[in-house]
Amino acid sequence: MTADLNDQMLGFARTDGQAADAIRRALDQPLLYLVGLQCHIGSQVTDASLYGEAIRQMVPLMAEVRSRHGVILTELNIGGGQGVPYASGDPELDLDALRDFIDDALDASCAAERFPRPTIVLEPGRAISARAGVTLYRVLWVQSQPDGRAIVMVDGGLRDNPQVALRDARHPIALANRHSMTAMQPMTVVGRHGESGDEITRDIALPADLHAGDLHAVACTGAYHHSMASTYNMVGRPPAGRSEGRTHPRTRASGDDRRLIVPRPRLKEPPPTRRGRIESGCEALLHGE
């Protein structure tokens, strides 16, 4: 999905003077040094030409800053949102095409505005981290449905995978702890929280002999799983680990369980009892007399 540079919740619109006013206010601050502009065109962008179009819109604004304020901005940040394939067959941003569209757009727009070529900045967060993460779930139970499908409940869900409920995200899943020789069966993998939308994925083919205790590996979860995890329904965040080559993974506990479970202090001596005359019936009830 992509966002119009003039109609979005992030930043300032170009056409109604908001961006120009923000730039003026930044330049008027003696403790700020404005070096460039930044824009955001959307998320999961796989069409490289959209970044070229963003440059064609932003360079004239940089030239306008030079004309009005005598300041030459040297950086142009065209944001992130570079799309990655979450499943087989999903489109992916072509980096060679992205380079060509950026070069062509800079050459054309800078020549048209007689503006010096700025340094281009990218924010490839998801593009770097998404495929670096795999999430493991343990199967709690499997329930067969009359239509030949099955419902599989795992020990995670909405607390560590909110992207499914928020954006209908889909990730490939595979049986991770053994090799099954049975036929595949359509299954819906759901979370443990019992909420509508608490799903990992729907109608995915998994081995028919799947059972409690099996492990599911969910791929491409490095960007929006652990970073968005919560203690929903008082369930602690899952631990995170890293694997270095063929060595055993190193696990880092989240710490939430330590905050949720507070040991009750032991008293060395019993609390002192209240002595003397009880003044009222309420006090008698409070003190068990």
- The model's confidence at residue 97, banded by pLDDT at 50, 70 and 90, is very high
- The model's confidence at residue 207, banded by pLDDT at 50, 70 and 90, is very high
Q: What pLDDT sits at residue 20? A: 92
Q: Decide which of 239 and 122 is more confident.
A: 122
Scanning the structure block, which residue is given the tokens 């991770």? 176
The arithmetic mean of pLDDT across residues 155-174, rounded, is: 85
Question: How many CA atoms within 13 Å lie on the side-chain side of 249?
Answer: 11
Statement: residue 281 has pLDDT above 70: no
Question: Above pLDDT 70, what percent of the chain?
Answer: 81
Q: Residues 18-41, buried b or exposed e (16+ Cβ, 10 A)?
A: ebbeebeeebeeeeeeeebbebbb
- Tens of pLDDT, residues 125-145: 888 999 888 999 999 999 998
Q: Which structural domains are found in the chain, ordered by start?
A: 18-129 (3.20.20.10), 133-233 (2.40.37.10)
Statement: residue 261 has pLDDT above 50: no
Q: Is 169:202 a contact under the CB 8 Å cutoff?
A: no
Q: What pLDDT sits at residue 5? A: 55
Among 84, 120, 93, 82, smallest CA distance to 104 is for: 120
Q: What pLDDT sits at residue 249? A: 57
Other CB atoms within a 10 A radius of the CB of residue 79 amount to: 21
Q: Decide which of 255 and 180 is more confident.
A: 180
Statement: residue 262 has pLDDT above 50: no
Mean pLDDT of the chain: 84
> Residue 84 is encoded by which pair of tokens?
């990655």
Q: Is 76:55 a contact under the CB 8 Å cutoff?
A: yes
Q: What pLDDT sits at residue 260? A: 43
Helix (H), strand (E) at residue 107: helix 95-113
Query: Is the dihedral angle over the CA atoms 219, 222, 223, 224 positive or is it negative?
Result: positive
Distance CA 211, CA 233 (A): 25
Q: Which of 174-188, 195-209, 219-233, 264-278 has the lowest mean pLDDT?
A: 264-278
Q: What pLDDT sits at residue 14? A: 80
The arithmetic mean of pLDDT across residues 160-188, rounded, is: 89
pTM given for the model: 0.74
Q: What pLDDT sits at residue 266? A: 62
Q: What pLDDT sits at residue 273? A: 58
- The model's confidence at residue 288, banded by pLDDT at 50, 70 and 90, is low
Q: Decide which of 132 and 62 is more confident.
A: 62
What are 138's strand-pairing partners?
215
Cα-to-chain-centroid distance, residue 78: 20
Statement: residue 69 has pLDDT above 70: yes
Scanning the structure block, which residue is given the tokens 């619109």? 13
Statement: residue 84 has pLDDT above 60: yes
Scanning the structure block, which residue is given the tokens 């963003």? 54
